[in-house]
Structure 1
């Protein structure tokens, strides 16, 4: 069987399949392999912003329950598991430890449950949706053009810590009977995005768009969601054929680094907004202001957008080499960053019930 058709007639289970990345992966599988049987396992039922193909079988299961997970996998007996389920803390929770127990339970213990159930069910390929944060959530360092040889960070933000621990479980489980690999997307955008574009768009109403923290030249790399979906399919094809990806991790991104400021400006422009002026705030001063805001919210019990963590995040340099993913998986981004930003803004505008300026809409 050729690599191109290797997933035909296979049974594929996608955990977290009603979520942002999971649903995009299910749609991509249905498009490329309409004859494969896709099952979704998720604690949430399907919802409109993350639509699933009509023929998708869904099981409402919490991955923190080993018994529930095992029961479904024994019934489905999938050939391949794509494990996208997990908790991504919201921005107010990202820099604290308030949800540490919950995040660890879902991201680490839930992954352990998925791995154990997969082994028992005779799964032959297991793909884990990790994150670049396994490395970059240590905010004390810049990450310019890093590769997979960079160490993960055992002590960073709770999200990165939990995903690094889960990824280690996955890669250690790779064997001749069940090959595993891990994909590390950078920050994501695309249809159904509920964090990145919405939070940047919200700066317009808060009158925050003129303010530039630091020099504004720090490079990020963003992943459009259908590109990470493509990468999941390529990984599955590899594990079913050459297995050169077995036991390996891969950074997945658009491979088009862009300054964080330019990324924000592009989003605001699509919504017809241009900052009327710019005020540059030195990173050190912003850091002190973030500390002050944290102190106020600690006293009042409220939440703050500005914190020491958010300042470091906004000034971070984080982009990786895509060479390993290209050489082993054959991955290249199909949707470029410019088109990805446009499509993301159009989708978010639809959800908001607003119309974008005509000039930002590409004619078909």
Structure 2
């Protein structure tokens, strides 16, 4: 049976890859996108249908869902983890998700709801091979607002899980919904508007010999291919449950490439394929994490006071410092077991194709 999918946030970096993957997956006959930038986005994918809409406008979203009649919704819309403000997180991440869940449960046709979440919303500055049952950022008021609001939104999504028992072809799904979430760390690939430009900016400013922290912290990165593949696997698992596997409904799943790497390998690989060749006598400077955290906290308060909570430090906020100085690794065994997810580990190849077009 073919299905229809509706993607919120399908015009962004990860979103455009999700759209392309669903369009190329035979199980999904129609792929719709609702985005504020639907008419002006550079990342349109042939075969997809675009609608202009804002997640914070529930009346418009309700009309579009009634018109499209999707079987599955992918909620990938989110303010930037780097430049987003508390107000945006409250409005889009929490209130937008809350409204979308209510509208979804009112639909007679909608069966599955997937939330595109973040591994980095786990509690604490350092994450060591965490599983999905770890404590989340909503439990700590000192955690960055992006992490806390993503955690709150994911909890709402998972608590909304109420699958229809023994559905038939003509069953009404009103009042029912199968929900799940996918947690991603730093994701890399084409159309990235933050990570890669940041690396190239550092290269242009000759900042390639400065390391924040001791440079030994590991990260679980995720290619956009693996991220998109995980979405379609989860959609299939929610729409067509396999009795031979534990259920995916009501569950969160860590998704990444499966092999942790040094955090600074991300930037160094980007610099390498951008043509950078470090000199043999180049000295590397290591800036201590403790001092950087103090500086980041001061900048957060400075911006908070003098911009009336409208802006955050772009390059040296506390969240960015924690990313660059501490280990963030996550276990994907649950996704392997319940979704049949097996990542393609092609870190070097992905970067080579990105920069060299190979």
Report the TM-score, using the length of structure 2 for normalisation: 0.85
Q: CA deviation at 1:294?
A: 6.3
Quick one: distance in 2 between partners of 1:326 and 1:270? 32
Task: Kindly indicate whether the alpha-carbon contact (under 8 Å) linking 2:22 and 2:28 is maintained by their aligned counterparts in 1.
Answer: no
Q: How does 1:25-174 map to 2 (within 5 A)?
A: 25-33=18-26, 36-45=29-38, 49-53=42-46, 55-90=47-82, 93=83, 99-122=85-108, 123-135=110-122, 138-139=124-125, 142-154=126-138, 155=141, 156-174=143-161
Structure 2: stretches of 5+ with no match in the other structure: 165-176
- CA-to-aligned-CA distance 1:179-235 (integer Å, 9 cap, x gap): 110000111111111111111221112222111222201001111112111101000
Residues 1:157 and 1:290: Cα distance change in structure 2 (over 3 Å): closer
Tell me which protein shows more helix as a share of its residues: 1
Q: Once the two structures are superposed, what CA deviation does each residue of 1:313-347 show, in whole Å capped at 9, x if it has no partner?
A: 21011010110011101112235222223234x2x
Using a 3 Å threshold, how does the CA distance of structure 1 residues 12 and 215 change in structure 2: closer, same or farther? same
Q: How many residues are aligned here?
A: 331
Query: Match for residue 191 of structure 1?
Result: 190
Is the alpha carbon distance of 1:67 and 1:319 closer, same or farther for their aligned partners in structure 2, counting shifts above 3 Å? Answer: same
Contact 1:256 1:337 in 2 (8 A): no
Aligned to 2:168: none
What is the alpha-carbon distance in structure 1 between the residues aligned to residue 314 and residue 116 of structure 2? 29
**8 Å CA contact 1:10, 1:36 repeated in 2:** yes
| SS at structure 1 position matched to 2:135 | coil
- Structure 1 segments of 4 or more deviating over 3 A? 46-49, 285-304, 306-310
Aligned residue number for residue 238 of structure 2: 239
Q: Gapped runs of 5+ residues in structure 1?
A: 1-7, 347-360
| CA 1:304–1:335: 2 relative to 1, 3 Å | closer
Q: 1:3: which partner in 2?
A: none
Distance 1:287 1:169, change over 3 A: closer
Change (3 A) 1:120 1:86: same
Q: 1:293 touches 1:304 (CA, 8 Å); kept in 2?
A: no
The change in CA–CA distance for 1:12 and 1:259 in structure 2 (over 3 A counts) is: same
Could you tell me which residue of structure 2 aligns to residue 215 of structure 1? 214
Could you tell me the TM-score, scaled by structure 1's length?
0.84
**1:305 aligned residue:** 315
Distance 1:152 1:37, change over 3 A: same
